[in-house]
């Protein structure tokens, strides 16, 4: 793995390279995505089924597009019972964490007769997209669905691509059932996003779409935003590790590779103050690559977006980490909690030698749907808040309005909005 000195010039080069992975740069696929969305929006089920046959080689009908209870029971029987129990334990952790995020409506009043507040209401229906093929992640089902369930969303659906025989991945179906999904539909790709955004005869229109997917899914979510809500336009996975000479180089190498195996576009970055430690980590990576099953993907990822930077001070490292704003950030130093206080931009922060990134992916409870491509500067992990709306409440008595109506009229007139001013004025003519 390449080892570089941490300079401003090198940091800027890395940032430019990472931002090139954004789905916003894949303009050549946008025309195809727009065509699919327009077709499904106009043609409903007929267009959806035609695309499923074309892309997933599966012939669907109104009678077979929805997963049946029998298919879910078959998935339970086909799955390792111990894995089912692991999913249940992970779901319990995820639910417990997200329960703490719930907010309630509130009201404040004054003796003058004003009532102000906020009404918190869950969205009516949410849709979760779950990839198929090689990227089957039951953990993402739990992470997307459970916050919606905790928020009180009354109807939650999942769309996931079937195979040629019309079967969906067993892990996806079991995770959906454990999480409390109401309906699962056999639909994948951009056509599934369009179906959830606009509705078809079989698939309901949803208020928000969450979940990962390939570039066509990401671009479809981007194109449908406004007609429906979305979580984000997610880019490839990322990990950044801040480590000093007290860290175990074998642990750090393993953690970097845990994200590099996702995709040739995934990024894995180590920031350290020790050249000898950097070299030790690089050597451990070479060793792991001799045994890991996804070694070829990892090699491509590290060649494209793998870096070890050596800086002089911890302040330099934290400054660079904040600039990169990584999806996952590990801090493995002598005083990780102290270093954490200097971090402003990160999707999830893992502290200490035994808090490796997969702990967050699968089990601990915090959400693993995280901001990518530097968007941790202004975005947050998926949460209960993503599935509720907040409405302001305003009520003034005549007496309360009388005390301030001249202020309001003056403000409105200063903006040239005389009808605004008149709306208040007429009440005191």
* Residues designated catalytic: 327-328
Rg of the chain in Å (alpha carbons): 25
Angle between helix 398-414 and 418-425 (nearest 10): 160
- Measured torsion, CA atoms of residues 34, 39, 40, 42, in degrees rounded to the nearest 10: 120
**Cα 161 from Cα 384, distance rounded (Å):** 26
| CB contact at 8 A, 397 and 295 | no
Strand partners, 272: 243, 310
| CB contact at 8 A, 366 and 90 | no
Q: Rounded to whole angstroms, what are the CA distances from 139 to 27, 64, 128, 142, 249?
A: 30, 26, 13, 5, 28
Residue 183: phi and psi, rounded to 5, are -145, 145
**Cα 379 from Cα 80, distance rounded (Å):** 37
Q: Rounded to whole angstroms, what are the CA distances from 277 to 5, 243, 262, 273, 333?
A: 13, 9, 25, 8, 12
**Cα 49 from Cα 186, distance rounded (Å):** 10
Q: Which residues, 6+ apart, have CB-to-CB distance to 209 below 8 Å? A: 126, 127, 128, 129, 193, 196, 197, 221, 224, 228, 229, 230, 231
Six token digits for residue 386: 């993503």
């Amino acid at each position: 793995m390449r080892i570089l000195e941490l300079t401003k010039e090198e940091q800027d080069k890395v940032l430019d390279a990472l931002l090139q992975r954004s789905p916003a740069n894949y303009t050549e696929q946008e025309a195809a995505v727009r065509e699919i969305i327009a077709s499904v929006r106009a043609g409903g089920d007929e267009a959806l089924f035609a695309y499923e046959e074309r892309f997933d080689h599966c012939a669907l009908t109104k009678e077979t597009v929805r997963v049946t209870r029998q298919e879910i029971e078959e998935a339970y029987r086909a799955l390792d019972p111990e894995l089912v129990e692991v999913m249940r334990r992970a779901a319990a952790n995820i639910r417990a964490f997200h329960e703490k995020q719930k907010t309630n409506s509130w009201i404040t009043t004054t003796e003058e007769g004003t009532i102000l507040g906020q009404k918190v209401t869950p969205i009516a229906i949410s849709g979760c997209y779950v990839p198929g093929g090689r990227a089957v992640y039951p953990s993402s089902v739990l992470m997307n669905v459970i916050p919606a369930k905790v928020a009180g969303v009354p109807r939650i659906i999942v769309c996931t691509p079937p195979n040629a025989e019309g079967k969906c991945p067993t892990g996806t179906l079991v995770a959906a059932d454990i999480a409390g999904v109401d309906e699962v539909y056999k639909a994948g790709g951009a056509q599934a996003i369009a179906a959830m955004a606009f509705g078809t005869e079989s698939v309901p229109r949803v208020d928000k779409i969450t979940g990962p997917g390939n570039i066509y899914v990401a671009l479809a979510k981007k194109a449908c935003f406004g007609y429906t809500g979305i979580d984000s336009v997610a880019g490839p996975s990322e990990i950044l590790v801040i480590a000093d000479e007290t860290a175990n180089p074998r642990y750090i190498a393993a953690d970097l590779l845990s994200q590099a195996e996702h995709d040739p576009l995934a990024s894995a970055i180590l920031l350290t103050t020790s050249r000898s430690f950097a070299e030790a980590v690089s050597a451990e990576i070479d060793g792991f690559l001799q045994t890991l099953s996804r070694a070829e993907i990892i090699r491509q990822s590290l060649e494209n977006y793998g870096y070890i930077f050596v800086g002089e001070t911890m302040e330099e490292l934290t400054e660079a980490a904040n600039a990169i704003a990584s999806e996952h950030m590990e801090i493995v130093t002598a005083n990780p909690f102290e270093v954490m206080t200097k971090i402003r931009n990160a999707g999830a922060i893992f502290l200490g030698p035994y808090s490796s990134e997969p702990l967050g992916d699968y089990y601990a409870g915090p959400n693993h749907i995280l901001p990518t491509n530097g968007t941790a500067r202004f975005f947050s992990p998926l949460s209960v808040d993503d599935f509720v709306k907040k409405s302001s409440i305003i009520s003034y008595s005549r007496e309360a309005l009388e005390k301030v109506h001249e202020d309001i009229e003056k403000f409105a007139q200063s903006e040239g909005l005389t009808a605004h001013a008149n709306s208040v004025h007429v009440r005191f003519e």
